[in-house]
């Protein structure tokens, strides 16, 4: 592609992100505060139910709140995400000399992994009925030794999950292909063995499809898919998003019960 044209498209995307303003919709929210909170929804789930049978909202690149349109994937703080019902965190760390700093690519997120642990610990002490899952991934550095830095081996292998993460979306013209990947995986999650944990990423990015711009197009499709199925219990597994709305989170949560609706 012509470099000058690519640069012009990048500048246009940046201008749109600056001028479009924050939005708070049922499916998408890039404001600083969720519309409402759902902090203790797991209290109503029987303790005997395996996590693989629980449908839960998650966030992609949970701590990516800084760095501009191409780097930012969320607008709520960690505490706000947890109180809004998010139970799967995707945390990216750079490992330097035994220290784990939070990064999205080259963009430092003004936090350390210890801040994440303290935030989760504080939330769980306040809401002991809840369970929080976390994916920990090395970003920018290539030591391959991040678990030694926290002195904790992974309790669940990420590779043991059945994952759809087609995150490379060349441009916004590829939204239909991205949505097909998400839709197919969610449909399969409903009928596959309940012992198999499903993880579906609705997020994606590229230089021509920034996270917020893609989420503004994919999140409505996901919300429409979910609301059309509200009213009956379904197992979708973990649905991981960029800039989810509070109502989207509540709708995902509602599938854990037969009679509960997302209203």
- Amino acid 19: pLDDT: 42
Q: What is the mean pLDDT of residues 216-245?
A: 97
**In angstroms, rounded to a whole number, what is the distance separating the alpha carbons of residues 121 and 101?**
18
Strand pairing of 99-104 and 88-96? antiparallel
Tell which wins on pLDDT, 194 or 6: 194
- Amino acid 130: pLDDT: 98
Is the pLDDT score of 18 beyond 50?
A: no
pLDDT 10s digits, 107-127: 999 999 999 999 999 999 999
**In angstroms, rounded to a whole number, what is the distance separating the alpha carbons of residues 71 and 139?**
13
- Amino acid 108: pLDDT: 97
Q: What is the mean pLDDT of residues 183-212?
A: 97
pLDDT 10s digits, 42-59: 999 999 999 999 999 999
Token pair of 90 as six digits: 């995707």
Backbone angles phi, psi at 104, to 5 degrees: -125, 100
Token pair of 18 as six digits: 């600056």
**Global pTM value:** 0.91
């Amino acid at each position: 592609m012509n470099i000058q044209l690519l640069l012009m498209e990048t500048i246009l995307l940046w201008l749109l992100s600056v001028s479009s303003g924050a939005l708070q919709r049922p499916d998408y929210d890039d404001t600083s505060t969720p519309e409402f909170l759902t902090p203790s929804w797991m209290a109503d789930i029987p303790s005997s139910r395996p996590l693989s049978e629980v449908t839960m909202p998650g966030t992609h690149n949970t701590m990516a709140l800084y760095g501009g349109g191409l780097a930012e994937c969320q607008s709520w703080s960690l505490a706000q995400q947890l109180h809004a019902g998010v139970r799967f965190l995707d945390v990216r760390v750079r490992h330097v000399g035994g220290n784990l700093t939070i990064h999205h690519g080259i963009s430092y997120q003004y936090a350390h992994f210890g801040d994440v642990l303290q935030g989760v610990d504080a939330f769980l002490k306040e809401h002991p009925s809840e369970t929080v899952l976390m994916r920990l991934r090395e970003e920018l550095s290539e030591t391959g030794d991040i678990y030694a830095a926290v002195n904790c081996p992974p309790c669940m292998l990420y590779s043991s999950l059945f994952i759809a993460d087609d995150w490379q979306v060349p441009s916004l013209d590829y939204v239909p292909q991205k949505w097909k990947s998400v839709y197919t995986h969610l449909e399969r999650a409903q009928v596959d063995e309940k012992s198999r944990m499903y993880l579906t990423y609705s997020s994606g990015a590229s230089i021509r499809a920034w996270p917020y711009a893609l989420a503004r197009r994919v999140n409505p499709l996901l919300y429409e898919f979910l609301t059309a199925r509200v009213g009956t219990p379904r197992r979708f597994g973990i649905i991981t998003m960029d800039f989810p709305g509070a109502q989207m989170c509540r709708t995902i949560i509602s599938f854990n019960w037969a009679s509960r609706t997302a209203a």
